[in-house]
Amino acid sequence: MQNTIKTRSGRTIVMPTAEEEAAIQHGIDADPDTYVPGDEEFARMKRRGRPRADTPKVLLSVRYDADVVEAFKATGDGWQTRMNAALKDWLKDHSPA
């Protein structure tokens, strides 16, 4: 009997049998280019990707007038960062309430 997994999208994934898993592992073990780091090496590895921000951004859905968005988009890549900077600058002299 095949072991299957149903995904959220409705697709069915057929999982390998124990014999197939053993054959796959044998192929991995026989490959001279395979390298498995030890626990100590794995612990010393650096995390890849973007470093965590000191002040992470908040994902938000908001609506602006089309002309405001188009004016910022017309400035090219980074327009959202510039929009954020403009709002921060506005907050220096104004109260949001």
Q: Which domain holds residue 73?
A: 62-97
Sign of the alpha-carbon dihedral angle for 81, 84, 88, 93: positive
Structurally, the chain folds into a number of domains equal to 1
> Would you say residue 74 lies in a domain?
yes
> Would you say residue 22 lies in a domain?
no
Low-confidence ranges of the chain (pLDDT < 70): 1
> Would you say residue 66 lies in a domain?
yes
> Would you say residue 10 lies in a domain?
no
Q: pLDDT per residue over 39-56, tens digit each?
A: 999 888 887 888 888 989
Residues 6 or more apart from 80 whose CB is under 8 A from it? Answer: 72
pLDDT at 49: 85
> Would you say residue 82 lies in a domain?
yes
